Structures are given as C-alpha cells and as structure tokens.
Structure 1
Amino acid sequence: MLILSSCNRTSIQDEFTTYFRYNEPDGIASLDPALASYQSAVWATGHLYNGLVELDSSLNIAPCIASSWEISLGGTRLTFHLRPDVWFHTDTCFIAAGYPEGARTVTAHDVVFSIKRIYDGSAKSTGAWVYRDRITSVAAPDDTTVVFTLSAPFAPFLALLTMPYGYIVPHEAVSFYGDDFGQHPVGTGPFMFKQWVPDVALQLQRNPNYFKVDGKGDRLPLLDGVTITFLRDTKSEFLEFMHGGYDMVTSVDASIAPTIYDANGKLQPRYSDFQIFRSPALSVEYYGVLLDTTKPGARHSPLATNKWLRQALNYAIDRHRIVAYVLHGKGIPARHGLLPPSLPGYDSTVPGYNYNPDEARRLLAKAGYPNGKGLPTLVLQLGNNPRTASVAEAIQEQWKEIGVSVELRQVDFPQHLSQVRAGELELWRTSWIADYPDAENFMALFISSNQSPAGPNTTHLVHRLLDSLYQEALKPGYSRAERSALYAQMQTYIVDEAPWIFLYHDVIIRMAQPNIHGLTVDGTGRLQLEHVVKSSSSLPS
C-alpha cells in the first residue's frame, strides 16, 4: 500500500506548477467509491473512476464506459454495450494477477462485479439503498455487453448509474488490497493514485491511458495531476490561495467573507482579478431530527415525539437574515419544502416555514413548553466547518428568543456522519446534494425502506402515505409535470411532519486563479478537471 508516512509539506509540491491544487477542510476517509457519500469523497472519486454513463454539461445522460444502450421490456431491461478502449490504471495488483503490462481493459464482468459489491453487502457500501430491491439481476453475456433486469420500471435508473456507486472497479484491486482498497484506489478515471500523506495531502497523477479526447483530438486530461490538501483552517486556506498556493477555493471563513464578497455574493474590487463561478446548487441544508425512539439519540429526546416542537423551531428561524448577514448572499432561504428552486419539479406553492416568532411561541406552548419552560437544553451537533458553525450560532440566538436553549457541539465530519447514520444524535446539521437532477433523489430521504444506516433516511421518518406516493411517482407513463405534482403532495406531508429544520439552499461560489482555464460549475456541485488547463501566467497584483 503506497501511503507515505512523512508529514513534510514539500513532498506534495514537487510539481507545483502543473498540478491543480485545492483544499478539503472536512477531509477524506476513503477513496472506495462504494463509500463516497459526502462531497469531498465524491469529488476525489470523480477524478479516479468512471461509470457506464455520466452527466454532460447540460446534466443530461451521456455515454461513458458504455458507448450505447437500449431499454426494453417496459423499462425493466437495460442492455449496455461497452467501449473496447477503456483501461484500468496501471497497478501492481494486475502484475500479481498475471498481467505483465500491469493493466488491462474493462470488461462487462467488471461492471457486474462493481454493481454487485454495492448491493450484496460485500463492500459495506453506504449506497446499497440505491440498488436494493430494484435490480433483479445484472449479467454479462459476453465481454462487451451488460444486461440489467429491474424488478419494476424505475424512471431515474440511468441517473443512478452516474453516482459513485455506479463507478467501475477491478476485482483484482479489491482482492489484492482488501480492506486497504480505499487507501489505494484503482479505477479508469482521468487521474490515478500517486500518494497520500494522511491528514496532509492526497496526490493524483495524470492517467496517460485515459480513453477520452477533447475537441481537438488531444488526449485528456490536460493537467499533469491534482493535489488535495486537508487544511482545517479556512482562513489559512484563503491566505494560501491569495499567495498562489491553491488554484481554487470553495470555503471562505465567515469572519472574512464580508471583505471578499458584497451582499450579492460578488467579489469586492480588491479581488476582482480572480475568477468567480456561481451556480444555484441542487442541494438543501438542514438540521435533521431523529424520530426513532428505539435509537440511542432519540430515547430521551423531546423532539422525537413532538411534532409541534419541531414546527416551532422551524418558525423561529429568520432564514432571510441568515442568508444576508451570515452567508453574505451565498444561499437561498428554504421556504417552500425541500426541493431547491433550480431543480426541475420545484413548486413555489408548496407550503413551508416563514419567520414567525409568534407562531413559534404558540406552537411551543401547544407542545407543552410555554416560553420554553420545562424544555431541556437541546444538543445540536455539527462538523468542524466555520461557516456551518456561524449559521448555528445565529440560529442558537434566534431560538433563545422564544425560550429554547441549545448547546452546540462540533466534531470531525467523518465521525459526525458515522454518528448520524448510527442513530446516536437527536439533532444534527447536514446537507443533501443531488446525486442526479431528479426530485426523486430528494424524496428517497423520507422513504421507510431507506432508513439508515442502509439508506439515506437518517431521521427514520415512517409515513405510509409518503411511501405510497413515492412508488406511484416511479411508475412508467407519468409526465414530468404529473410526477412533480405527486412530489408536491409528498412535500406537504414532509413539511407538516417536520423531520427537518429547513435552512437554505446553497449557492455554489468558487474562486479561481486567473491562470486557470476550462473550470466550470453546475448545480450538482461536482468538480470536473478533465478539460482544465493551468497556464504559467502570474498571480493578480
């Protein structure tokens, strides 16, 4: 396993001018796509792997490892035809398996292996819910053909395959590295693993055998590599960016944000030489509430069994003020359900929670806690991110105004996520970023069969009518408008049950050095570096 033990930062700067450098303050626990359930891991695995299909620049399904496909039997059979020129990264695992060149091409059998390890439990994947009860079989009748048989038609199935849980891995690497595969990844992507200094940096290098070319016929990627650091302090991260140490920055500490952005999220004149990229995110930020009283986090929680209390907390938040003064315009208040405004199917008529402290106090009294009397201090847990801490501090003050006391607790994000999935927390902060641009991907968070840790329903909401509407919307024959109407009904019930404290929809803002070309941003928040070029021009003066 190629894991460097040195903590010398110079070991990640050897090819400084030709590597794209960015920072991940939340860290990365594993590079196994089976475990890529949070943004930093999704970005990193996106550099290393490919799936059968992908999202193009317009967020439409496009060929990738598969060159074509057909859908038959009323939407229950999908047949994919693979490209013959896709190679896995050169790696020792292939030499050990009898391939003297140290690499081999992808076959249909690799697809079968990769998909099955997600849903059969062997990879302990956080994405088992994606395929569970949907795939009856996946088979390879020959080396270049893969056939999926579904238990029932599922309109977004192609979109599911664009997720990290649809990435293709070689069985030789999984067998050779065993539990350490996540620390020594082998894929087909534009970049391949080079070295990982724990808690310092991860370095990827250009894959010389990548199968894609650009419009000029030049083989991609155009960079020599990628360096990802794990600097926790976002103030230091921005200072490093200002001195040219990073090519892009996505996290700006809340305490310095007003000096960088104006109230509309635009760059202040001092920083106008840098590039800025903006896009409404297909995401929602929220505080989750555990409703399952059999889990340790909810056994003694007043939130778990008191819908009026949860509604009161929602009404007590001034989302517009938080977006304007804490996020400095980098957000959209979540006032109409859970779907972001930029997502097809968003419905502004869905009722939500406006700031109404009087209604919050009325519901608090109805819940049995007039002016907060008798209500124990709530514990809200967050990851170690300065921006989410600033939002939580603002909400802590707003809840205090109606008599609700809350203690804030911060832990490292991987630990935080593990505790959320294990049902150890009564109230926590997280976000959901669309895996693909379909409202179904958000509705799946509230389906009974998707309860964590096997699925994304971390609140453990159980609502049979929601389950029924969700299944109805997946039936073939519905137009997008008809499916959207069903999802709007679902949102009405979700808002009423209030398993979340709805906060805001993110606005993605990335700053880049002026010598970076080809960088793009879209609502999925993905980071694509295949077409990025880093020129040698100087930094802004």
Structure 2
Amino acid sequence: MSKLYFSFTVCFFLLLACSSSESEIQLIAKGGPIYGGSVAYHASEKSDLIFPMSVVSMYDQRAVAPVYETLLSYDEDNQSLVSNLIEAYSFSADNAYLDLKIRQGVYFHEDPCFFDQNRRLVASDVKFTLDFACSRHVLNEQGQLLTPKIIGAEEFLNDTTINFNRGVKGIEVLSDSMIRLRLIDSTQTILKILTHQSLSVISKKAFIAYGNDIAEHPIGTGPFIFKQKSDKGIRFERNPNYWRNDNYGNKLPFLDTLTIKFKKEGEDIFDSFTSQKTDLLSSIPVNEINSLFGTLTDAQEGKNILHKVQHKKGLKVNFLEFDCHTGPFKDSNLRKAIYHAVDRQEICREFLFGEGSPAEQGILPSVPFFKYTSGAKNPYNLGLAKSYLKKSNYRRADTIIFHVSTRLGSPEDNWCLSLVEKLRETLKLNLKLKRVSFSEKMTAIKSGSASMWMAGFISDYPDAESFLMPYYSKNKGEGRLKNGHFTSWEFDKTMDKARAEMEPIERNAYFNECVEILNQKAPIVPLYFEDLVVVFNLRLRGAKVNSFGILDLSEAYLKSIK
C-alpha cells in the first residue's frame, strides 16, 4: 500500500511539474539578453482596428505587427527577401505559377475558437488570407494589391456573395503544407507584395468562429498575444509558443508585455519618455533631437536620459493631394498652378532645417529598387504657375479648404501655414487651413468633402510599383476610392507595360515615364522625402525599425545601463 501511495505521489508531482506554465519557470538567455520586463510607447495616431486587411496607415500597421506575421519579409541590409511563415518558394519555368511551402511548427495564439485544440498554421489558412485580401468584405481595404497579380482574383472581388468556400480560382491548396498561386504576369513582383504588413496571415478557424467581429479578436502567429484594447491603448503579452529563436537559440520574444499608448488630451509624449514611463519615441523630427535631449555633457552629468537613435533614410514622401473628380481641382490647370508655385527647397531649408530632401523629380525617392534616368530639375516656377492659373476656371470667390492632420507648432504645421500664406499672396487663392485628426481627414477624403489635403506615404513593399499603384485607375477594391480619383489612360497604359516587363532596366524606364506623367498631370504635388527617426531608451536593446516604419520588438529586451 505504501509503495502504491509513493508511486502515486511521485507521478502527481511529475505531472504538476510538466504542466507548469512557462511563466513559472525562470528563463535564462544566452549571449546577454534578459527575459522579462515591459515596454511601452505612445502611438502617433489611435488605431481603431487591429486587423491586417483593415489597416491604412503606418500607425495601424505598427499595432498589427506584434500579433500578425507575413509570409515573407524584406532584409534591407542585403536587399533580399527572407522566408517568414513559408520555408521555401519556387516559380514554374515560365513563371506561370508560384508554389509556397508553409513553415512547419507554427501555431496561432491560444483562443477558445480552437475548440479542437488544433492551432497549427496550414495552407488553408494562407489561402483564406489571400482570398480575404481579394474579397469585397467590409473589413478588406487591400483589394488592389493582389487582383492584378493572381488569376481569378478580380473575378472573386466582383462576386458580391463573398463565397470563401470557393475563394480565388488561382489560389490552390495542394496539401496542408503547400499552396500554389497562378499568376497573371511574370515579373515575380508578387513576392515583394507578400512582404506587405496588410497581407499578414489570419486564421480561417478564427474567422469562422467570430465572423465580422474578427477584428475584435486579433489572433495571429506573432511574438505577442493581444490582451486588451481601451481608450488608453493596446496591451500585448508574450507568446510562450512563438516559433522563432534568436542566433543563440534563445526562444523569442524576451519581453513579458508590450503596451501601445494612446495620447491623452494635454499629455506630453516627450515628458513620458524622459521620465521613463515609455521606452521609445516613435515619431520625432530630426531637427528637434538635440534641443530635446541636450548635449553629450548633459547626458554625462545625468541631466537627461541616455538614448540611442535609429535613423532610416526616408522612404516616406510628403505631398499635397487633390480630388481630381469633383470641385475646383477637376481642372488640371489649377493643379499645375499649385504644382509650380510650391518652393520645395524652402520647405526643407526653412522648416525642416535641411533634414528633408526636396521631391523635385517626383513621388519616388532614388532607392535601390528605383533610379531616375534624368537629372533633377526644380519645378518651382512662379511665372509658369501664374500662366496655368489664368488658363484655369478658378474664381477668387471660390474657397478651398486645405485639410491637414498636423500638431500645432510642429515643423509640418508651420510649413503648411506658410504654404497657405504664399499661395494666397502669389496666386491670390482663397485658401483656408483646417486641422483635423488623421481619421477625420480620411473620412473627409472618402466622403468627397475634402478637395485638397496634406498626405504622406511610405512604400508598403520594396518596389517602385508600390508608390505608383495608388494612381492606377484599374485598381480594384476599396483602394480605388482613394487618392483623389485620378484617371489617366496614358498612366495606366505605361503601368501595364512596367508590370509586364521582366528586364529591370526597361521596367525602371517605364516607371520613370509614369512619374513624369504624374508630374505633368499633377494629381499630387510631391514636396519632400522624410527621414524616419525613432529614439530608444538605452536600456531597451535589440529593438528595430525598418524603412517602412514598422517596429520589430521580437528580439528586444531590457538591460540596465552600468
């Protein structure tokens, strides 16, 4: 009897030990990182939906990134594609189709929707994700991304029944670990598009369980698990079953919690950082860093917080945009007048203190995936601007409201105010500035109540196509409603040639033609390219930001400064 009791006791404690959660076990990392701790930062804009296909801004993508992951990612240092939720990919000899091998051992976050306890990522989840991105579903804002690339995608987008049981004809599940995409063009750009944060993989089972409420139940495969969203912010916790390890074999992530805070009325984001209530500043003009943080001597004397700066040469372009469909800017001559009346060099020199680069050649920066074929030419020409204004139908009594989402007193706000004054003075435009939130501005654009607005854009994937596709009038889905309703058969025809071209030099030449058409038609006025700057508390190690503005905290950890 005593032997039986002893055996039962031993078995009980063994089972108890095996069932202990990871949080009850002290994790020790190799190579210097430390497990545990909490990181917080303020978002520049409040995120309403934490769902990949619904996001329309860099700030929304930052809220999605901790939870959801893409099939591929882009290594900026090596300018190459890196497998993420796929282990491998291969094209057919004629580039007619692309096969993707799904990574094994990846699981979605624990959730009651997985009543069968099977949370493994399989090919049907990837098909569902791509089908969703090609659908007319109310939560999908990404219809323009894949419809020009995959056979049957446009047909599915036009299907009002949204039958996910059928899905896109050209997206085929070959097995639990293999999926095939049948392609319209042969440029292989599809791989770059699959790095897009808004094409992060979602769970088919989660959608079946939650339906249209899926955005309230973010369930991905990422390093952090969504826990709570409120008016104060979003809270995430460590995913103990995350599939990735670092170079030392340490199980990621290291942090226990991550909080994205929403700014309260009157709250000073910089003070929160310097008082160490937050650990990074996700948006700060380069010209303000020295004045905010003081000198090296100040830091050595303990007068300010020790910090490091990650500075990415800007993929973000800032520009003026017009509603080309209705109102005063249906008139291309008025658009051209403003295009030539804006002094881009002055904006960079006087308001950005030389930190921005004037966008004198067009909407695209000169980057590894795009090169201009002609020299820079300053488009600022008041004489030409006034001649276009005379040709236009504009009347001085016509009021133009300029919608901006700027912070009062910021460099952006200052140049916007200056621009209004200059255009009033030089072109005698009855122009008025209206400050609104980002979401209010987007609502005004969608409703057609905005005729001119300040806009900013960061490439979503590493290709010139990403910058130019918003002005392609053959776009499908919700995306076609944005970007001022610009239509140009000449632009579309040239984009079609670029998208079908395999030779890099020829493709680059077609994209140059597209940029020149935009410069001539002036649906937008490119102003300057903005460098991306993020400031980290020095105790926060391993945090990264890429040129697309996405923060990666999967390998971040906290370590005191000695």
With the shorter chain as reference, the TM-score category is 0.7 to 0.9
Match of 1:531 in 2: 555
Does 2:439 match 1:439? no
Moved more, 141-150 or 164-173: 164-173
Q: What pairs up with 1:424-463 in 2 under 5 angstroms? A: 424-450=449-475, 453-455=478-480, 458-463=483-488
Match of 2:391 in 1: 366
Match of 2:269 in 1: 237
Match of 1:276 in 2: 309
Deviation at 1:349? 2.3
Pairing partner for 1:501 from 525, 528, 542:
525
Match of 1:303 in 2: 329
Match of 1:8 in 2: none
RMSD: 2.6
Pairing partner for 2:292 from 260, 281, 293:
260
Q: Is the 8 A contact 1:332 1:504 kept in 2?
A: yes
Moved more, 343-352 or 32-41: 343-352
Q: Is the 8 A contact 1:234 1:251 kept in 2?
A: no
Deviation at 1:71? 0.4
Going from structure 1 to structure 2, the CA distance change for 1:37 and 1:511 (only over 3 Å counts) comes to same
Does 2:131 match 1:110? no
Q: Which has the larger radius of gyration?
A: 2
Going from structure 1 to structure 2, the CA distance change for 1:502 and 1:451 (only over 3 Å counts) comes to farther
Pairing partner for 1:139 from 149, 168, 172:
172
Q: Is the 8 A contact 1:50 1:189 kept in 2?
A: yes
Q: How many Å separate the matches in 2 of 1:433 and 1:512?
A: 21
Moved more, 423-432 or 253-262: 253-262
Q: How many Å separate the matches in 1 of 2:524 and 2:397?
A: 19
Moved more, 307-316 or 271-280: 271-280
Deviation at 1:228? 0.2
Structure 2's unaligned 5+ residue stretches are 1-35, 152-169
Q: Is the 8 A contact 2:319 2:527 kept in 1?
A: yes
- Which deviations, in whole Å up to 9, do the C-alpha atoms of 1:506-533 show, x marking residues without a partner? 1111111111212333322221111212
Match of 1:88 in 2: 108
Q: Is the 8 A contact 1:193 1:205 kept in 2?
A: yes
Q: How many Å separate the matches in 2 of 1:49 and 1:128?
A: 19
Identity %: 24
Pairing partner for 1:184 from 205, 217, 228:
217
Q: How many Å separate the matches in 2 of 1:269 and 1:321?
A: 33
- Which deviations, in whole Å up to 9, do the C-alpha atoms of 1:10-63 show, x marking residues without a partner? xxxxxxx81221111311010110112211111121111112211124342111
Question: What secondary structure is seen at the aligned counterpart in 1 of 2:496?
Answer: helix
Moved more, 249-258 or 164-173: 249-258
Deviation at 1:269? 6.5
Match of 1:289 in 2: 322
Q: How many Å separate the matches in 2 of 1:350 and 1:338?
A: 15
Does 2:46 match 1:27? yes
Going from structure 1 to structure 2, the CA distance change for 1:449 and 1:94 (only over 3 Å counts) comes to same
Q: How many Å separate the matches in 2 of 1:104 and 1:151?
A: 33
Deviation at 1:422? 4.2
Q: How many Å separate the matches in 1 of 2:393 and 2:479?
A: 35
Question: What secondary structure is seen at the aligned counterpart in 2 of 1:445?
Answer: helix
- Which deviations, in whole Å up to 9, do the C-alpha atoms of 1:107-155 show, x marking residues without a partner? 0011111110111223541101111142221111211111111123243
The amino acid across from 2:343 in the alignment is D
Deviation at 1:326? 2.3
The amino acid across from 2:253 in the alignment is P
How many residue pairs get matched?
A: 501
Match of 2:415 in 1: 391
Deviation at 1:384? 5.1
The amino acid across from 1:25 in the alignment is S
Match of 2:62 in 1: 43
Pairing partner for 1:319 from 344, 347, 365:
344
Q: Is the 8 A contact 2:140 2:478 kept in 1?
A: no
Q: Is the 8 A contact 2:333 2:388 kept in 1?
A: yes
Does 2:234 match 1:208? no
Pairing partner for 1:153 from 179, 186, 196:
186
Does 2:140 match 1:120? no
Match of 2:25 in 1: none
Q: How many Å separate the matches in 2 of 1:226 and 1:348?
A: 45
Deviation at 1:220? 1.3
Deviation at 1:190? 0.9
Pairing partner for 1:220 from 245, 252, 264:
252
Match of 1:512 in 2: 536
Going from structure 1 to structure 2, the CA distance change for 1:178 and 1:452 (only over 3 Å counts) comes to closer
Structure 1 length as normaliser, TM-score?
0.86
Q: How many Å separate the matches in 2 of 1:510 and 1:233?
A: 23
Structure 1's unaligned 5+ residue stretches are 1-16, 293-297
Question: What secondary structure is seen at the aligned counterpart in 1 of 2:268?
Answer: helix
Does 2:83 match 1:63? yes
The amino acid across from 2:210 in the alignment is Y
- Which deviations, in whole Å up to 9, do the C-alpha atoms of 1:214-271 show, x marking residues without a partner? 0000011122221001105697001111111111113348996783389xxx999666
